[in-house]
């Protein structure tokens, strides 16, 4: 290999390691990798940034706007009602849940679908005495399987289509993938329904511990006038020195202080409300400067108009990752008090404020009722759900949103206009009709994903122009050549699945596609078949919670352990791969 190829291999390898270890956000890793290759002269500026002029990232951005309009208007509420039955049979309930979700995910971004459904499914299961862990992972898998079946079902299909166009081929048609992906999705759904009751254990989710666990009590205390806490800052009063104790409310003269702040000055007769275990809140009675204002009670008051319980899942791009609640000034920044942290199916104990947070941690917190609206569109949290929230009503504008979505799908399907044009027109219509404000449309777009997609094109160009793609194709041919073209393509498909299990599926597809096209050329395989195989294999992200965003969204709320994904995801991945290889290689 040439020096450029070796450098590209080193940069790509470093990017994969950085992504797999969650050292930085994917957007930072990819832009950094492209910048290194640009400075080193491996790619020209036009090659490095050509992805940002490609239709793929712009189309994905426009479809995010459509998905937010669907979520905002409650246009999928009929799906909710069709999904949640009486829960008498686990497999019947799973069928009712996964089938419409997969169908909806074929045409809509699956992230808002999971964001809307997972809290309601969790509440529904909990009220019937079922563990949400039986339902939430199948919910995510159904969204992934459904997204494979059309061009707009997942951003990965759009990325591969854009890369094909960049290489001089025709982009994918709206339903070009359906003939292969639909059997894969159907078999995957059946397998999920059959195996989930056997392979998924009952887990205790954070919401159940909020109601029944050791953090079940709150207590109201009064600051003694002239006592040792009178005139002291909240942050200096060491009110959180008792393990498992959280200050959630600060009242003065009968009125609640806007938000609990460490900088606030305590005054005599202020009322403070704490949440903690029964033994912990009773220990407050021995704290100098405080006296009991009333008896301990269950914290039902936090479901009132002033406060509510929320679940919030820490996102990969969140500034909270690697920092403690104290270091991030959580109380001041988010105006919310964390009362529990769940990680890998277990509640963490000890000094929660001093515990560094990780991707996928689920925070059980108390905040005012507007907390979800403030933080739902940020990168801090993958999911923000209010506990006990009822199903929101469907807006009158929901029909308009569904009409716009149907028009995009139908007109793209018959080839009236390219999907880029239609998705942009659809987004403009939604804003023009006032269904979303310009600010809401902007907030709907996950710009980290857009940057990853755009930068991935530059990295793919480096793989191709440096000769790394051709050299890797020769290596693949040497390793799998004795098995012929089918065996060679099978090796690429398996490698794609493995790579997408540790980095984002968009990144995996962008890195593998140039190699797959070179291999296809060497073995006389239809390049289009190779591209379809890579696109669908990159979406087969079932074996780890970090392999796909919806998997991570249900990881904490479901109370899952990492191995739960391996347990159900492995047989599903194997069967999906067999069907995919049969359809793309051996058929």
CA 145, distance to chain mean position in Å, is 16
H or E segment to which residue 346 belongs: strand 346-347
Question: Which pLDDT value is given to residue 245?
Answer: 67
H or E segment to which residue 484 belongs: helix 484-500
Between CA 467 and CA 22 the distance in angstroms is 29
Question: Which pLDDT value is given to residue 384?
Answer: 86
Question: Which pLDDT value is given to residue 281?
Answer: 56
Question: Which pLDDT value is given to residue 464?
Answer: 76
CA dist list (Å): 472 to 45, 169, 456, 515, 517:
24, 21, 18, 6, 11
Contact 4, 464 (CB under 8 A): no
H or E segment to which residue 438 belongs: helix 438-444
Tally of residues, the chain: 587
pTM: 0.73
* Other C-beta atoms lying within 10 Å of the C-beta of residue 395: 16
Look at residue 381 and give its three-state secondary structure.
Answer: strand
Cα torsion for 45, 48, 50, 52, to the nearest 10°? Answer: -110
Where are the domains positioned within the chain? 3-40+54-205+402-586, 217-297
Between CA 123 and CA 125 the distance in angstroms is 5
Between CA 281 and CA 296 the distance in angstroms is 8
CA 442, distance to chain mean position in Å, is 19
Which is it for the CA torsion 123, 118, 397, 444, positive or negative? positive
Between CA 446 and CA 452 the distance in angstroms is 10
Residue of 96, 109, 88 lying closest to 189 (CA atoms): 96
H or E segment to which residue 362 belongs: strand 362-367
CA dist list (Å): 143 to 54, 148, 551:
26, 9, 10
Contact 89, 128 (CB under 8 A): no
H or E segment to which residue 275 belongs: strand 271-276
Q: Which residues contact 321 (CB under 8 A, 6 or more apart)?
A: 22, 314, 357, 358, 359
SS (H, E, C) 547-587: HCHHHHHHHCCCCCCHHHHHHHHHHHHHHHHHHHHHHHHHC
Residue of 579, 585, 586, 587 lying closest to 148 (CA atoms): 579
Question: Which pLDDT value is given to residue 297?
Answer: 43
Question: Which pLDDT value is given to residue 82?
Answer: 67
Of the chain, the end-to-end C-alpha distance in Å amounts to 35
Question: Would you identify the CATH topology of the domain 217-297?
Answer: Alpha-Beta Plaits (3.30.70)
Between CA 504 and CA 111 the distance in angstroms is 14
Q: What is the mean pLDDT of each run of 10 residues along the chain (587 residues)?
A: 84 79 77 90 86 84 86 73 70 89 87 80 78 90 93 89 86 90 93 92 68 53 87 75 66 68 82 67 69 53 58 86 86 79 74 81 81 81 75 74 88 84 92 89 82 82 78 72 74 81 78 83 82 90 82 84 88 86 70
Question: Which pLDDT value is given to residue 210?
Answer: 54
Which is it for the CA torsion 179, 181, 183, 189, positive or negative? negative
Look at residue 351 and give its three-state secondary structure.
Answer: coil
């Amino acid at each position: 290999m040439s020096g450029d190829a070796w450098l590209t291999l080193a940069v790509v390898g470093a990017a994969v390691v950085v992504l797999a270890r969650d050292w930085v956000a994917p957007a930072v890793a990819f832009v950094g990798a492209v910048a290194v290759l640009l400075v080193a002269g491996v790619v020209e500026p036009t090659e490095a940034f050509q992805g940002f002029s490609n239709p793929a990232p712009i189309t994905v951005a426009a479809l995010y706007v459509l998905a937010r309009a669907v979520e905002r208007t409650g246009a999928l509420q009929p799906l909710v009602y069709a999904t949640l039955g009486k829960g008498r049979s686990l497999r019947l309930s799973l069928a009712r849940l996964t089938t419409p979700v997969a169908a909806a995910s074929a045409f809509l971004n699956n992230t808002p679908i999971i964001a809307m459904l997972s809290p309601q499914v969790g509440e529904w299961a909990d009220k019937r005495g079922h563990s949400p862990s039986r339902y939430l992972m199948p919910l995510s898998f159904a969204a992934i399987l459904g997204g494979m079946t059309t061009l707009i079902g997942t951003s990965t299909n759009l990325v591969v289509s854009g890369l094909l166009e960049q290489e001089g081929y025709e982009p994918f048609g709206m339903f070009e993938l359906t003939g292969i992906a639909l059997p894969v999705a159907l078999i995957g759904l059946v397998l999920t329904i059959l195996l989930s009751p056997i392979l998924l254990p009952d887990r205790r989710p954070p919401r159940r511990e909020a109601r029944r666990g050791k953090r079940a009590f709150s207590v109201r205390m009064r600051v003694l006038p002239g006592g040792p806490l009178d005139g002291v800052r909240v942050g200096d009063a060491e009110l959180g020195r008792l393990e498992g104790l959280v200050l959630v409310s600060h009242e003065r003269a009968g009125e609640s202080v806007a938000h609990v702040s460490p900088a606030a000055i305590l005054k005599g007769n202020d009322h403070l409300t704490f949440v903690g275990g029964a033994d912990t809140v009773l220990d407050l009675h021995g704290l100098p400067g405080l006296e009991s204002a009333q008896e301990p009670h269950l914290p039902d008051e936090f479901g009132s108009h002033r406060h509510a319980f929320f679940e919030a899942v820490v996102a990969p791009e969140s500034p909270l990752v690697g920092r403690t609640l104290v270091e991030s000034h959580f109380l001041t920044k988010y105006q919310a008090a964390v009362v529990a942290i769940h990680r890998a199916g277990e509640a963490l104990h000890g000094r929660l404020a001093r515990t560094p947070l990780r991707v996928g941690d689920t925070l059980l917190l108390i905040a005012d009722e507007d907390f979800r609206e403030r933080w739902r569109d940020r990168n801090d949290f993958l999911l923000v759900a209010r506990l006990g929230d009822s199903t929101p009503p469907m807006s009158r504008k929901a029909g308009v949103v569904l009409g716009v979505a149907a028009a995009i799908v139908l007109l793209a399907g018959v080839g009236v206009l390219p999907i880029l044009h239609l998705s942009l027109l659809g987004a403009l219509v939604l804003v023009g009709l006032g269904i979303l404000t310009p600010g809401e449309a902007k907030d709907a777009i996950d710009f980290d994903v857009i940057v990853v997609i755009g930068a991935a094109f530059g990295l793919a160009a480096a793989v191709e122009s440096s000769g790394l793609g051709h050299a890797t194709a020769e290596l693949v041919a040497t390793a799998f050549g004795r098995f012929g073209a089918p065996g060679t393509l099978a090796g690429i498909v398996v490698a794609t699945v493995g790579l997408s299990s540790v980095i984002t599926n968009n990144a995996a597809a962008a890195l593998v596609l140039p190699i797959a096209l070179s291999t296809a050329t060497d073995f006389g395989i239809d390049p289009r078949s190779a591209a379809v195989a890579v696109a669908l294999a990159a979406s087969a992200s079932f074996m780890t919670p970090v392999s796909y965003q919806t998997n991570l969204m249900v990881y904490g709320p479901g109370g899952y352990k990492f191995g739960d994904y391996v347990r159900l995801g492995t047989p599903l991945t194997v069967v999906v791969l067999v069907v995919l290889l049969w359809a793309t290689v051996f058929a």
